Structure 1
Amino acid sequence: MQLKQIIIAHKSGHPASKAWAETYTKALEERGCRVMVGPSGVSDNPYPVFLASAHASIDLAIVLGGDGTVLAAARQLACENVPILAVNVGGHLGFLTEPFELFKDVEVVLDRLIGDRYAVQRRMMLEACLQEGSRRYPEQVSDTFLCLNEMCVKPASIDRMPTSVLEMEIDGQMVDQFQGDGLLVATPTGSTCYTASANGPILHPGMEAIVVTPICPLSLSSRPIVLPPGSVVNIWPVGDREVNTKLWTDGVLGTTIWPGQRVAVRMSRCQAQLIVLREDYSFYGTLREKLQWAGTRVHFETENGNGGLADSTDSAWEETR
């Protein structure tokens, strides 16, 4: 990888994240790299300025924060084919980030990047827009919104918690009507986030698939469904006279859905590119760590390669007591 022009985005309001951004900026500039630095947060979006200021292709984005900071970067940079090195500095769960311990030795990290000693995960994304008109010849009436985790259609009101009634069509076929708190349309990456909280399935991020999950449905027959990546999901709000229903993308407000409009969700051509520094990276290891899955409680080993089971260690037995 060439390191000629780089973005560094740090978590807004987090001193350690900003300090490490400054440390990497100094090290990169000493190597002759042009660096653009700025905060990223709920009220800070530095990426339009970064992209407009770039006088050549951007080689890398270093994103220092948690999963929310990474999601914001992916929505802005995926279609620009900018790889993202995300590091957990000031984050909480950190599903999408590299551990901070691997990031502390600045020169080692930069040497690994220049020497191409890393892996790149390509993550599927979704895009959504509002449409009006006939099903056969729809008219797009909004911007196109991107997400790495999920699109969410749900109502929001200042003074109460309204229930939504949403109709869903998949590839031109009416599927169901959902009454409840809303509807999630997620990627495999997003299956471990809001979708998992809504009792949706967990999908491996290497897959290409779309997960539709109702949020707290009022019918026991409403169930999540996994769709092929080429599917198009259309969602209509029904009977929303107060215009409360909105489209949310990765937890950020996209737009209000007005009467007569529908949300069309499909797989995007853009893919997020996440750099992996860990040589022992495992998605299942991440599930065990982040979701606190127990894994095996008693460890067995094969003996002499013949598939026999050796006795468990005393320490392993102690863990089960």
Structure 2
Amino acid sequence: MELKQVIIAHKAGDPQSKIWAEKCAKQLEARQCKVLMGPSGFKDNPYPVFLASTTSNIDLAVVLGGDGTILAAARHLAAEGIPILAVNVGGHLGFLTEPFEWFQDTEQVWDRLFNDHYAVELRMMLEARLYEGKRLEPNPVSDHFYCLNEMCVKPASIDRMPTSFLEMEVDGEIVDQYQGDGLLVSTPTGSTCYTASANGPIIHPGMEAIAVTPICPLSLSSRPIVIPPGSLVNIWPLGDYELNTKLWTDGVLASSIWPGQWVGVRKADFNAKFIILRETYSFYQTIREKLQWAGTRIHYDNNHRQ
């Protein structure tokens, strides 16, 4: 990998993340690499400035933080084909990040990248747009929105907790109408996040599939469903006379949905690229550690595993 121009994003408000970002910047600049550095957080979005400030290729994004910081990077950088080295510095769960102990010897990390001693994991992403007009002749009325975890259609109100009424169709055919807290359209990556909390399926990230999961539906017959990656999911808000229904991408507000509009969700035309430093990376090990699986009340030794 060439490292001629690199983004370094650190978790806003986290001193440790900033210290490591500055250390990385000095080391890369000493290797004749141009560095674009800045904080990333709820009120800080450095990526549009980074992308607009250069006309040459960006070879890598080093993102230091937790899963929220990584999700923001993927939404903005995946479309540009920029690989992401995500490291858990100042984060909590760290589902999407490389463990910090694999990053502490940063000079060795740069050597590994220069010499192509790493792996690249591709993660499926989703895109969404708002439409209006005739169902068979939709007119897009918004920009593209992207997510690594999930698109969520649910209401939000300052003074109460409104119920949503949503109709979902897949490839033009009505599947169900949902009454409840909202609806999640998730990637395999997002299946271990909000979707898992809503009792949706956990899907291996090596697969390409879309999971649609109702959030607290007021019907025992409303169930999660896994559909092919080429499917088009349309979600129609029904009976929302107070304009509460909104589209959320990876937990961040994307847009309000006005009467007559609907949300179309499909697989994005690109994948997020993550640099893997671990030599024994395993999705199953990750969910065992992060979700604390294999934790029965009475522990038995498996003597058959010899």
TM-score bracket for this pair, using the shorter chain length: over 0.9
Supply the distance in 1 between the matched residues of 2:53 and 2:301 (Cα, whole angstroms): 55
Partner in structure 1 of residue 275 of structure 2: 275
Aligned residues: 304
SS at match of 1:16: helix
Q: CA deviation at 1:135?
A: 1.6
Structure 2 portions without partners, runs of 5+: none
Partner in structure 2 of residue 19 of structure 1: 19
Partner in structure 1 of residue 256 of structure 2: 256
Q: CA deviation at 1:50?
A: 0.5
SS at match of 2:42: coil
Q: CA deviation at 1:130?
A: 0.5
Q: CA deviation at 1:181?
A: 0.1
Q: CA deviation at 1:301?
A: 5.1
1:92-241 to 2 correspondences below 5 Å:
92-241=92-241
SS at match of 2:109: helix
- Counterpart amino acid of 2:60? L
Supply the distance in 2 between the matched residues of 1:149 and 1:300 (Cα, whole angstroms): 35
Residues 3-37 of structure 1, C-alpha deviation per residue, up to 9 Å, x if partnerless?
Answer: 10000000000000000000000000000000000
Supply the distance in 1 between the matched residues of 2:55 and 2:257 (Cα, whole angstroms): 38
SS at match of 1:42: coil
Supply the distance in 1 between the matched residues of 2:190 and 2:111 (Cα, whole angstroms): 32
Q: CA deviation at 1:52?
A: 1.0
Supply the distance in 2 between the matched residues of 1:275 and 1:152 (Cα, whole angstroms): 27
1:13-52 to 2 correspondences below 5 Å:
13-52=13-52
- Counterpart amino acid of 1:114? F
Q: CA deviation at 1:55?
A: 3.2
Q: Which runs of 4+ in 1 moved over 3 A?
A: 295-302
Identity of counterpart residues, as a percentage? 73
Supply the distance in 1 between the matched residues of 2:206 and 2:179 (Cα, whole angstroms): 32
Supply the distance in 1 between the matched residues of 2:92 and 2:197 (Cα, whole angstroms): 16
- Counterpart amino acid of 2:275? I
SS at match of 1:24: helix
Partner in structure 2 of residue 317 of structure 1: none
- Counterpart amino acid of 1:159? D
Q: CA deviation at 1:295?
A: 6.1
Tell which structure's C-alpha radius of gyration is larger. 1
SS at match of 1:58: coil
1:10 aligns with 2:19: no
Supply the distance in 2 between the matched residues of 1:222 and 1:187 (Cα, whole angstroms): 20
1:60 aligns with 2:60: yes
Q: CA deviation at 1:134?
A: 1.3
Supply the distance in 1 between the matched residues of 2:227 and 2:294 (Cα, whole angstroms): 30
> Which one is further off, 80-89 or 107-116?
107-116
Supply the distance in 2 between the matched residues of 1:243 and 1:292 (Cα, whole angstroms): 40
Q: CA deviation at 1:53?
A: 1.4
SS at match of 2:162: coil
Q: CA deviation at 1:299?
A: 3.9
Structure 1 length-normalised TM: 0.93
Q: CA deviation at 1:43?
A: 0.6
Q: CA deviation at 1:171?
A: 0.3
Structure 2 length-normalised TM: 0.97
Partner in structure 2 of residue 75 of structure 1: 75
Partner in structure 2 of residue 319 of structure 1: none
Residues 143-175 of structure 1, C-alpha deviation per residue, up to 9 Å, x if partnerless?
Answer: 110000000000000000000000001100011
Q: CA deviation at 1:63?
A: 0.1
